[in-house]
Structures are given as C-alpha cells and as structure tokens.
C-alpha cells in the first residue's frame, strides 16, 4: 500500500465513493419517452438502450406498471397516480439505472379533448388508399368500443396529391362538445402525411392539431377496417386511430 502514489490513492477513493452512480448511468440510457407528456393512467413508450423489457420503471418516486413494447428496445409504462408536473423517469435493472429528465405529468386532458386509445399503437406504414376517389365518409375512432359514436368525417379526393379537407367535421353522437366541430387540413398521398385541425373553440374547447399517416390495419381492427389513419395530437401527445369501415 505504501508504494501507491498518494494521488492514485485519492483517485481510488473517489472512484469507490462516486463511481457506482456514474457506472449505473453509463451502462444504460433512456433515449426517448413517447409522448413526453401524459396524464396519470395513460401509457408511454420508453426507448431504452442496455436494458431489457422487464426493467423497473419509476416516475419520480412511484413505480409504474409496464409491459413489453413492439420492439426489444421498447418498454410501455403506465404513468402512475401520485405524481404531477416535471418528473424524472428512471429505468432500473440490476446495477444499471438510466434517467430521463424531461417528462411532464400533465394532470388531466385539456377541455374538450377526446380521449384516445387505452394502449399505445406503434404504427406500420401502409399502402395508400389510392383506388378510393372522392371519399365522403365517416372515419371511426378505434377507441370507441361500440363504434360509430365518435369520429371524423373526411370529405375530399384521396386519389393522390394534396387534398384539402375544409368541409370535414368531427362527430360524436353522445357528447355535443365533440359534435359538428369543423375539421380542416391536408392529406398528401405522395409522401403519406396527414395534417388535421379540429376546431372546438365555439364550444369552449381548443383547436387540436393532429399529424399522422395511413398505416397497416392493426390486428384488432382487421374484421372492421378497410383503411386506417394514425394521428398524434400536437397539444396533448394523444394517439388517435380512425378507420374507414369495411
């Protein structure tokens, strides 16, 4: 021991006392949380490196329930109750721990925002419905268990190019807040990009903007859907899947 230089001795002491947390942080990472804000009770996808899908996920100090994502580097976690505002998300497995500092528990959905699917959907691009022209129909929310109660009526020519949907509207047979609200936007079949804005301001709500695309029909909709549109709310991170029935 007396042959070890003094500065090396202090380096060893520092490594022993500080190195554990540093090593934990280096052995794994949380690369993204999608969306990066959600109320309690809603799911998020964690993109991780160096961790398995069975790793423990903690929001602040509260452990979350989890399930495997569609890919080996994805964990789906339900935002737990008892946390709010800016919280750290940590993912722990064995001696490894990774942290994500930029997640916001948003408390509750803003006024007049339609809830989305209870489960995260990871989209797969689809062939476009270019055989369909002059579509005037109701695209039903896949989260509606009874069907045809909530959705969006899209009016336009989906036969390629950019389509403006200014005469479209949101409908809901049970809740007047979501009924007959104007929908506008574009559908670009050339690059499979859809942008929609639902204007609920006349009924005390917000203008909710959605970005998305056509995707493959998910397995749970195969018997119901001919085409499916996947949308994400730019205000809430909410996922919305609407489908054109068979």
Question: pLDDT at residue 11 above 80?
Answer: no
User: Do 139 and 233 fall within a single domain?
Assistant: yes
Question: pLDDT at residue 231 above 70?
Answer: yes
Question: pLDDT at residue 12 above 50?
Answer: no
What count of other Cβ atoms lies within 10 Å of the Cβ of residue 226? 12
Q: Is 146 helix (H, G, I), strand (E, B) or coil?
A: coil
Sign of CA dihedral 56, 47, 143, 41: positive
pTM: 0.67
Tell me the C-alpha distance between 220 and 143, whole Å: 11
Domains in the chain: how many in total? 2
User: What phi and psi values does residue 108 have, to the nearest 5 degrees?
Assistant: -155, 165
User: Do 201 and 100 fall within a single domain?
Assistant: no
Answer yes or no: are the C-beta atoms of 225 and 233 closer than 8 Å: no
Asked whether residue 115 is assigned to any structural domain, the reply reads no
60-82 burial, b at 16+ Cβ within 10 Å, e below that, comes to beeebebeebeeeebbbbbbbee
Tell me the C-alpha distance between 152 and 146, whole Å: 16
Question: pLDDT at residue 10 above 60?
Answer: no
Average pLDDT over residues 62-82: 91
Task: Show the tokens assigned to 9.
Answer: 């001795």
Tell me the C-alpha distance between 164 and 170, whole Å: 15
**DSSP class of residue 180?**
S
Asked whether residue 126 is assigned to any structural domain, the reply reads no
Average pLDDT over residues 94-102: 94
Range of the domain at 223: 135-245
> 162 or 99: whose pLDDT is higher?
99
Answer yes or no: are the C-beta atoms of 30 and 100 closer than 8 Å: yes
* End residue of a domain, out of 62, 86, 105: 105
Q: What is the pLDDT of residue 83?
A: 92
| CATH code, 90 | 2.60.40.10
Answer yes or no: are the C-beta atoms of 142 and 241 closer than 8 Å: yes
Asked whether residue 124 is assigned to any structural domain, the reply reads no
Q: What is the pLDDT of residue 31?
A: 94
* End residue of a domain, out of 83, 105, 127: 105
Tell me the C-alpha distance between 157 and 130, whole Å: 9
């Amino acid at each position: 021991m007396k042959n070890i230089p003094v500065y090396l001795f202090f380096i060893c002491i520092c490594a022993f006392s500080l190195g554990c947390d540093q090593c934990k942080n280096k052995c794994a990472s949380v690369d993204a949380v999608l969306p990066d804000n959600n109320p309690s009770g809603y799911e998020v996808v964690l993109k991780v490196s160096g961790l398995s899908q069975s790793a423990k996920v903690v929001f602040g100090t509260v452990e979350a329930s989890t399930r495997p994502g569609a890919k080996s580097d994805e964990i789906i976690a339900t935002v737990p109750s008892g946390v709010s505002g800016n919280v750290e998300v940590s993912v722990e497995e064995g001696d490894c721990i990774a942290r994500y500092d930029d997640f916001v528990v948003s408390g509750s959905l803003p006024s007049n925002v339609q809830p989305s699917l209870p489960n995260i959907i990871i989209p797969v691009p689809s062939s476009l419905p270019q055989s369909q022209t002059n579509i005037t129909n109701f695209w039903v929310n896949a989260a509606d268990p009874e069907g045809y109660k909530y959705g969006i009526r899209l009016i336009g020519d989906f036969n390629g190019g950019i389509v403006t949907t200014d005469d479209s509207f949101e409908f809901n047979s049970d809740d007047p807040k979501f009924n007959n609200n104007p929908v506008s936007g574009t559908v670009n079949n050339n690059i499979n990009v859809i942008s929609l804005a639902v204007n609920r301001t006349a009924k005390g709500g917000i203008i909710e903007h959605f970005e998305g695309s056509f995707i493959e029909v998910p397995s749970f909709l195969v018997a119901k859907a001919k085409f499916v549109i996947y949308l994400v709310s730019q205000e809430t991170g909410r996922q919305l899947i609407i489908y054109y029935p068979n």
